[in-house]
Amino acid sequence: MLTASQRLQAFANPTRFMALSGRLVAPLGVLTAVVMAAGLYFALFASPPDYQQGETVRIMYIHVPSAWLSLFVYSVMAVSSGVALVFRHPIADVCAKAAAPIGAAFTFLALVTGSLWGEPMWGTWWVWDARLTSVLILFFIYLGYMALRATIDDPHAATRPAAVLALVGFVNVPIIHYSVNWWNTLHQPASVFRMDGPTVASSMLVPLMTLAIGFTLFFFVMLLVRMRAEVLRRRVRAMSLRRAEG
């Protein structure tokens, strides 16, 4: 029977990954487009304005999925970094590197849409409360991770320091999640994933969850595309080095 390490190594072959991902990108892309179109229709046309926030509530349909994905993508990046660090899994390292810019983009979108929502609701574009500040720190961690990888030409040499940074930075993820419970903040507490059930009306919950699924599918499509590009980039680099040595 194969051990866990042997199972991981079985999927470490870049050729096998390229073949599998090549078959997945197109259908996942079509599914993403369909789900996103449905989510945008529900969010913009089928859902009612909020009785307090009015039409401003529609920003939530972009802000909340972006905020969820900012944490989810970093979690994927941290897990991949751990696998790459412990098992020396090349595809895991590729995954971590490919995920970082996507996560940074979602985090930036969450910050921008949060500011757009906060100005009419709170009367200010920004407040230094626990949730907003910790998300801003997450954005800087993403940037720091990408900067570290960009400064090291050899992708194999970059694996260990980048993985350590990703794992250390993961400490911020639970801080973001529980910040509204640990400190007094202007940011509202969890209203969807609660032990006693969602507090959001179904007319708003449907477009919110549909777009959350659409954003998640979009992430996986972009992740596969970026991973494939990184595998090809490393192959080209290896060929160039062999030619230089020969």
The Cα-based distances of 163 to 74, 96, 198, 213 in angstroms read 12, 8, 36, 28
97 belongs to a structural domain: yes
* Assigned domain for 22 exists: no
What was the pLDDT predicted at 123?
A: 81
Q: Would you say residue 39 lies in a domain?
A: yes
How many Å apart are CA 64 and CA 73, to the nearest integer? 14
d(CA 11, CA 49): 48
Q: Is residue 113 part of a domain?
A: yes
User: What is the model's pTM?
Assistant: 0.90
- Answer whether residue 169 is part of any domain: yes
Q: Are 54 and 45 in contact (CB under 8 A)?
A: no
Task: Please tell me the distance from the alpha carbon of residue 37 to that of residue 30, in angstroms, as a whole number.
Answer: 11
d(CA 155, CA 233): 10
Residue 5 is assigned to a structural domain of this protein: no
d(CA 91, CA 85): 12
Contact (CB, 8 A) for 117 and 186: no
Whether 105 is in a domain gets the answer: yes
Q: What is the DSSP letter of 53?
A: T
How many distinct structural domains can be found in the chain?
1
User: Average pLDDT per run of 10 along the chain, which is 246 residues long?
Assistant: 56 84 96 97 87 81 94 98 92 97 98 89 82 94 97 93 97 89 64 55 85 97 97 91 81
Structural domain that includes position 206? 27-45+53-187+201-245
Beta-bridge partner residues of 54? 50
How far apart, in whole angstroms, are the C-alpha atoms of residue 203 and residue 42? 9
pLDDT at 38: 97
**What's the pLDDT at 12?**
67
pLDDT for residue 183: 64
In a domain, 239, yes or no: yes
